[in-house]
Amino acid sequence: MIRAEIIGTGSYIPEKTLTNKDLEKMVDTSDNWITKRTGIKERHIAAGDQASSDLAVEAAKKAIADAGIDKDEIDIIICATITPDMVFPATACQTQKKLEIKDVAAFDVEAACTGFLTALAIADSMIVSGNFNKVLVVASEVLSRITDWDDRQTCVLFGDGAGAAILSATDEDRGIMSSYLGADGNYDNILHLPAGGSKLPASQETVKEGLHYMKMEGRETFKIAVKKMAQSVRIALKKAGLTIDEIKMVIPHQANMRIIKALAKRLKIDIEKVFVNIQDYGNMSAATTAVGLDEALRGGNISEGDIIQLVAFGGGLTWGSITVKI
């Protein structure tokens, strides 16, 4: 039986940091309020000349090196992002160009914070089908460009970063064991970016009204996020024929520390089994779980033979979970 194995990971975080103390000087907030409500202490901000593809390239290079492969072995590039370099061509194509990988397919996935998991599930299907052997999945976000820095409810939450993984075909007992993805467009207005698409193209009016910035209804998002992420984990585990007790670590989307704790409670697992780095980066949308996976592996939190659970929730609304044997 062919599976998609993760053979390499990498991540890239921009150098510039924006701390809670820095935000105190920008909006009516405090380090204590942000920490208590979100668990975030700082986030990283891309340089003015860095686009999503620039971050993606740096993460991809590290993943390729970690996998120990030549970049020309990659068959296809999938990029998860809600902050593409431009509407088109795809950020995956821009990443391909900068990596100098020629004549392979490249496309973007837009599933907000669930983007990395969605891209992994697609890559898994492509490998299992036998049509592809090595897939580069990269999630890259420059959320600082779509954040309203005058809105104290949302500007404290988001940061920039990128993570990547190389998937390869294997017939050994490891790799992606199961995946589950879901969505409900009826909740589209509780987490969205109103303008910039064909519905509300850019105009003086949309810019003046701040419609090119993310909008979020935090309380409603919290409730649905916890419920759907817990449900996603249970479904993915059932498909894999496993129980939560067999999982070494859960790597969830890092949106809010209270959401992470509530998820652990619903799953009835110790918080020590949940990977957390929200204090350092905030919410990086699709890049969050990709960076978390890379850091968990490099930090020794998980190792060969361990079974882990990735889970995320994002605008759409979208959600999903993937069970992986390292």
Catalytic residue among 44, 79, 155, 253: 253
Specify whether 186 is located in the same domain as 265.
Answer: yes
Residues 254 and 305 in one domain: yes
Residue 321 has pLDDT above 90, yes or no: yes
Q: Region 65-73: what's the mean pLDDT?
A: 98
Note the pLDDT of residue 220. Answer: 85
Residue 1 pLDDT exceeds 90? no
Together in a domain, 243 and 311: yes
The pLDDT assigned to 225 comes to 95
pLDDT (tens digit, 9 = 90+) per residue, 117-156? 999 999 999 999 999 999 999 999 999 999 999 999 999 9
Non-local (6+) Cβ contacts of 87 within 8 A are none
pLDDT tens digits along 232-287? 999 999 999 999 999 999 999 999 999 999 999 999 999 999 999 999 999 999 99
pLDDT score at 76? 98
Residues 195 and 166 in one domain: no
Domain boundary among 172, 200, 234: 172
Mean pLDDT of 300-320: 97
Sign of the CA dihedral 1, 179, 92, 283? Answer: negative
Same domain, 21 and 164: yes
Quote the domain boundaries for residue 12. Answer: 3-172
- Cβ atoms < 10 Å from Cβ of 35: 15
Tell me the pLDDT band of 219, cut-offs 50, 70 and 90.
Answer: confident
Please say if the pLDDT value at position 170 is more than 90.
yes
| Catalytic entry in 20, 79, 93, 283 | 283
Mean pLDDT of the chain: 97
Question: Active site residue: 93, 113, 155, 256, which one?
Answer: 113
Task: Please check whether residues 299 and 207 belong to one and the same domain.
Answer: yes
Q: How many structural domains compose the chain?
A: 2
pLDDT at 94: 98
Q: Which of 144, 172, 200 is the last residue of a domain?
A: 172
Residue 256: active-site member: no
Q: How confident is the model at residue 305 (pLDDT cuts 50, 70, 90)?
A: very high
> Catalytic site residue 283?
yes
Residues 140 and 81 grouped into a single domain: yes
Residues 163 and 298 in one domain: no
- 268: CATH: 3.40.47.10
Percent of the chain whose pLDDT exceeds 90: 98
126 and 226 share one domain: no
Q: Mean per-residue pLDDT for 173-200?
A: 96
Query: Are 167 and 185 members of one domain?
Result: no
Confidence at residue 218, expressed as pLDDT on a 0 to 100 scale? 79
Give the pLDDT band (50/70/90) at residue 49.
Answer: very high
Q: What is the structure's pLDDT at 87?
A: 95
* 253 labelled catalytic: yes
